[in-house]
Amino acid sequence: MSGGREDQGRLTRAASFVFLHTEHAIYAALGALLGLTALVALIDAAGLTWEAFRTLGGADQILEVVDRLLFLLMLIEILHTVRVSMRSGKLTCEPFLIVGLIASIRRVLVITLQSSEITHAKDWSPEKQALFQASMIELGVLAGLILTMVFAIFVLHRARDDGKPAGEEAQEHAGP
């Protein structure tokens, strides 16, 4: 009877070993792809920034540069989440809240620019008024969402025992 339990324990350990290493391989591949994507986004953002600087770009170009840079920040934060998950074996929610916060801020910037263009238009129509009202409602919802995410990040920081951001706990135990 104990031979069956021993075989089952060995099988469980072997399956756990295979699944853990498969998970780490997938995380590593995902991290490499995210890193390459972030590098391409950085090169693109640098090109857009140079072009806006060279031509003394207007609000549209500047918004596009800021949008690309915020997208790059989102990629880096997701890459950080993958690194923390590989290192600690835990999935933390704080980096996802930060990505959501950056995405919400990106959307606020886009809506603000679109609303500015609508209000400065010479021909004010009922369609533009409806679009403007919908934009203001979306801005209100995004403001509430941003406040909620900031509060959630604050609560997460306060709830942690050591007060460190996610991912730093494993650095103390890591070897040189």
pLDDT, one tens digit per residue, over 144-164 is 999 999 999 999 888 876 656
Predicted confidence (pLDDT) per residue in 22-32, tens digit: 988 988 898 89
Query: What pTM did the predictor assign?
Result: 0.66
Instruction: Give CA–CA dist 15/21, Å, rounded.
Output: 10
Per-residue model confidence (pLDDT) at position 175: 44
Residue range 131-136: mean pLDDT, rounded: 90
What is the rounded average pLDDT for all residues in the chain?
82
What percent of the residues of the chain are helix, what percent strand, and what percent coil, each to the nearest 5? 80, 0, 20
Tokens of 54: 């060279």
CA dihedral defined by 135, 139, 140, 144, rounded to 10 degrees? Answer: 150
Q: How far is the C-alpha of 48 from the C-alpha of 51, rounded, in Å?
A: 5
Q: In this prediction, what percent of the chain has a pLDDT beyond 90?
A: 22
Contact partners, residue 57, CB within 8 Å, separation at least 6:
51, 65
The larger pLDDT score, comparing residue 158 to residue 101, is at 101
In contact, 101 and 152? CB cutoff 8 Å: no
- Of residues 143 and 57, more confidently modeled: 143
Can you give the length of the chain in residues?
176
